[in-house]
Amino acid sequence: MSTKKDKFSLKDKFYMEIALKLANSRQGLTGSNPSVGCVIVKNDNIISIGQTSFNGRPHAEFNAIKNCIDDLKGSKMYVTLEPCCHHGLTPPCTNIIIKSKIKEVIFSVADIDRRVRNKSLKILKSNNIKVKKGLLEDKINNFYSTYFFNRRNKLPYVTGKIAVSKNNLIYSKLNKKITNAHSDKFTHLLRYKNDSIMVSYKTLNKDNSKLNCRIKGFSNFSPKRIILDNKLQTKINSYIIKTINKNNTIIFYNQADKSKILDFKKKKIQLIKSKVNKQGKFDFKVILKKLYTFNCRNLLIEGGDSLTSHLLKNKIFNKFYLYKSPKNLSKDSEYLKFNSLDILKNNYKNKFNLNLFLGKDKITLYKN
């Protein structure tokens, strides 16, 4: 009886690894669709590759087929996720695969989408295309963990981060800089890989945050800005307000003067009224559900102590990055302390013992 180990050759694994790298390079940039990688091989030569397009369409298989200048008849396709077979904004990928005369399709994992799951396999087989699945299954299931979470829960996948000094401060008026330039670049990589970023108005007003990706060449991939501002106290002359357009910013509020609401709406700010509890805190699950309807799939939260502590206590984060600097910050003037380190360590585990050292800074990953 054959097993997964002998069902696939070393060459099969090599081609699927390339497909996974293609998918990984677009992760977080494909809107509500999963990022997929595709490689087409003929006579042991790669004749085309494809990735899911930015914002999700066209799909990787379509792009790989359309990009190919060789005859596809008799070729083999490697794709990280089961090809789609339903009509949406674009025709099914199974249609173009069948028309192209590809003889074999190897995909790693079945799509969680009920419109697709294991249906494409049957459609392709019924058209005399050889189909195999399960190649690099564990590795690629892990890659799609955020997409599977989105689909199962109808919620964005939430990543948190906070930077603390050696003496556990997150802010000092006398020396504001906590982490080094290497850690800053890692933060901008996180912003690049997440489609949305959230802060409270307090953080925004204190830092006049830009909340954009400042990796050279990737500024166009800056995330949508999400602001929590109960009474619309965000400074009207802040960078965020000055750079607002109808697509790049959402502000959640609960109550505010009519004149203030009018001022914000004049600047074409998207305002969403949302309930708060007796302590004046937003119902975060309601907010996450609302963000999902706006195609938010990967949310990065860069909160201060109050917001971060609230979300840690309620286990809202799917994963959390703790940045630890080796330097002490001054307590001689205004300062803020991170008070929830024990909550983080009790509610989340450093499951993979991931401790990334960037210069002298240490970044530890915790997961729910």
- For the annotated catalytic residues, the residue numbers are 61
β-strand partners of 271: 251
Buried b (16+ CB within 10 A) or exposed e, 293-331: ebebbbbbbbbbbebbbbbbeeebbbbbbbbbbeeebee
- Matching residue, tokens 């390079």: 25
H/E stretch holding 161 reads strand 157-164
Contacts 24+ apart (CB under 8 A), 279-286: 280/230, 280/254, 281/310, 282/228, 282/230, 282/252, 282/254, 284/310, 284/311, 284/314, 284/316, 285/155
365: CB partners within 8 A, 6+ apart = 319, 320, 321, 350, 352, 354, 356
- What number of other Cβ atoms are within 10 A of residue 172's Cβ? 21
Phi-psi bin for 337: left (phi > 0), alpha (psi -120 to 50), beta?
beta
Q: What are the Cα distances from residue 110, in Å, to 83, 201, 221?
A: 9, 42, 29
